[in-house]
Structure 1
């Protein structure tokens, strides 16, 4: 709609209704030095000069590709086929907003339908929605779905869930009057005895389990799902989508809901976001799923067509009937994930997972061989992330590695004070054998021979 500024007559009428004579009187409560501050700004630049200045600033940044990157902890460095960028860079996708009406682009609706189909197949569940913001919002929305379905207000989550997901989850469910109860861990994974005791203390709506967990360890998902169902609760698995290609997917283990983050599926780390949240569930829960669903139907001529089949959010139906007030889906990021999965296929995704597993275990063996360093949970199975413990605070170790051009991992002292000497290390298919060797060499330079005694056991 065209923008029509208020006329002088309109302004005078509004001021009169407020009992004011001038526009300045609207702002009389604001101190003068705040109302008209003196801004010490540089002189304006020409287009040429501005471009030169922006390039100068950009050159001060060191792109991730210039490092040996072993960071993980929820955001990963993975290979992205060129077709992903080429697809999402097309103007008809890149400039489009999330579809609202039934007359939205058939092409975009089809991509969302394909995304839903791929996520449902990946997690071995009946239906997936058109995406959430990230793993945290997907998990929180899944928990709300469980409270609505069961009518219960206790949400149990394994304490090894990503701390940022736990924080978002707590914020979300508190607004619905639900309580978050953490299942403690033993040796890095869920304490099944404690989980059973907590489930016996009151009616739980859902048990939330990561796979793998924040520390990279594989959780006893099947046992937790069984315990949840035995207590009348739903089971929600926060599943790494790449891991779902090589370990039993949530649906195969009996989970009712699966959540995850699609960042590994063709989306670069890019300062932590945006990513895309994955959410899938069993068919009987479909009317509780938040956001929107795209379905396949037929048009008036009998041809294949796509439409917004289900929209349970506040903007589309009465607020009291809405399952969620989540506002949109990350359609462009979902398209990136769809393109990635279409390119890689089942075999390609398995290969990505297999290479990542092998390189992470090679890296773990090499780093554990460095005097003074050891795996914190040596008896627990892991995929491509593991906790390395050293003889000093992890920040010091990582600082030394950074000077060698290595992003060595994520320090865990801020998550758990008992892990102050530990950092989370990740290797993926992008971690070359040469980079793994450089990591071992740099770590060996940090700790002199014979320093193994310094490690606290």
Structure 2
């Protein structure tokens, strides 16, 4: 094979182009670009055969530590993915499908999204869901925007126990708007209720919390919902979907809008993405939801059919009437979430959640037995918990990574006075042997 199989231009075409523009070489063509911004060279190696290219890619991939024992969470989780998820989502009907701009011609896509919405509503205990969002962090921001539209108020109160990355995305969303974002510093890994009470007034549109929170702690949100509603505000909760197999749903606890990241529902870690964001709410807020909502109907012959009932994007309606300009609903990833939930089922989700909780409790007990290690016990946890080490966590993590163990997320970069804190995550994939290995390696590293 020659280079033309891999490059858009042949050497002859390049010489002709240079002659027309009056440059003697490709390097001279790009000379006006400052040297520090310029590629070091355009002399790429000759093209390779398919076999050689594949072998080269395998060699590059071999540099990745695929055998790492993973106790990292913080928003993305190492869960088992049933084979049926890959098999069905890999069918050409699904992975080649795109946004249904002509929905009447996309009945299969619409039905899948309708069933996805139904699954999210059942999971969260709320009445309406849209056809997915970009990811969990943008879902938090979109929920805040919803609350501002619903209430007409100008302040968002955010619990400091919400994922730091989600809080950063929220601040970015609202940066150029006349909206105040108030963050409440955590108190022993939980929402500081006294500080919240002090700032709840007629300007607060919503209070944004996370359950389980970034430290892994779980709380009954029912009393908080009553407190927030008494101030005329909405309660927005970011939730971990797998935990809902065991924890009371946000809808049952009085949450107005529930959001989260769907990566743990049948989507691989994939170095951080892609995944999908989900959002569910009370029916009264449906016209303020972002994105698209698929509805069920019948055609003129009485046959079941599906339509885009609400289309709130600027690509569908006039820009000034749009509730969101988010341009990707990650439909294929959301489909994987639907297949996962359908395959696992109601009882399977509950069993999966119990496995996560039970294994995390075993790990918590093992780590608590290490001299100098303190496990935060301010509230029950699901599959994540926080420990304090007798020395800074970051170098300990770096040392264990060399041994093939990713022990957790050090909190020093995200919270003051937390350099020794480490959030440990245990999913159903972690074995007793792996947990024991973590405990032994951590004790030796201290």
Q: TM-score by structure 1 length?
A: 0.88
Q: Name the residue aligned to 1:107.
A: 108
Tell me how far 1:41 sits from its aligned partner: 2.0
Q: Name the residue aligned to 1:181.
A: 182
Q: Where does structure 1 differ by over 6 angstroms across 4 or more consecutive aligned residues?
A: 22-25
Q: Name the residue aligned to 1:343.
A: 343
Contact 1:209/1:221 (8 A) holds in 2 = no
Contact 2:103/2:110 (8 A) holds in 1 = no
Deviation track 1:318-342 (CA, whole Å, cap 9, x = no partner) reads 1111111111211000000000000
Contact 2:73/2:408 (8 A) holds in 1 = yes
Tell me how far 1:220 sits from its aligned partner: 4.6
Q: Secondary structure at the match of 2:100?
A: coil
Tell me how far 1:173 sits from its aligned partner: 2.0
User: 1:41 pairs with 44, 49, 68, which one?
Assistant: 44
Tell me how far 1:51 sits from its aligned partner: 1.8
Partners of 2:245 and 2:175 in 1: CA distance: 34
Matched length: 418
Task: Report the CA distance shift for 1:419/1:106 in structure 2 as closer, same or farther (over 3 A).
Answer: same
Q: Name the residue aligned to 1:414.
A: 413
Query: Please, which moves more after superposition, 393-402 or 154-163?
Result: 393-402
Q: Secondary structure at the match of 2:241?
A: coil
Partners of 2:289 and 2:280 in 1: CA distance: 8
Partners of 2:402 and 2:30 in 1: CA distance: 48
Q: How does 1:221-232 map to 2 (within 5 A)?
A: 221-232=221-232
Q: Secondary structure at the match of 1:309?
A: strand
Whether 1:282 and 2:285 are equivalent positions in the alignment is no
Q: Name the residue aligned to 1:8.
A: none
Partners of 1:48 and 1:358 in 2: CA distance: 47
Tell me how far 1:149 sits from its aligned partner: 1.0
CA RMSD of aligned residues (A): 1.8
Q: Name the residue aligned to 1:163.
A: 164
Tell me how far 1:130 sits from its aligned partner: 0.3
Contact 2:150/2:288 (8 A) holds in 1 = yes
Task: Report the CA distance shift for 1:444/1:101 in structure 2 as closer, same or farther (over 3 A).
Answer: same
Query: Please, which moves more after superposition, 143-152 or 103-112?
Result: 103-112
Q: Secondary structure at the match of 1:260?
A: strand
Contact 1:412/1:422 (8 A) holds in 2 = yes
Q: Name the residue aligned to 1:259.
A: 259
Q: Secondary structure at the match of 2:103?
A: coil
Partners of 2:87 and 2:49 in 1: CA distance: 32
Q: Name the residue aligned to 2:384.
A: 385
Partners of 2:220 and 2:22 in 1: CA distance: 66
Partners of 2:193 and 2:176 in 1: CA distance: 29
Partners of 2:199 and 2:309 in 1: CA distance: 39
Q: Name the residue aligned to 1:51.
A: 54
Tell me how far 1:31 sits from its aligned partner: 6.9
Partners of 2:177 and 2:105 in 1: CA distance: 33
Q: How does 1:111-122 map to 2 (within 5 A)?
A: 111-122=112-123
Contact 2:219/2:380 (8 A) holds in 1 = no
Contact 1:313/1:325 (8 A) holds in 2 = yes
Query: Please, which moves more after superposition, 76-85 or 180-189?
Result: 180-189
Q: TM-score by structure 2 length?
A: 0.90
Task: Report the CA distance shift for 1:55/1:443 in structure 2 as closer, same or farther (over 3 A).
Answer: same
Q: Secondary structure at the match of 2:148?
A: helix
Partners of 1:315 and 1:409 in 2: CA distance: 41
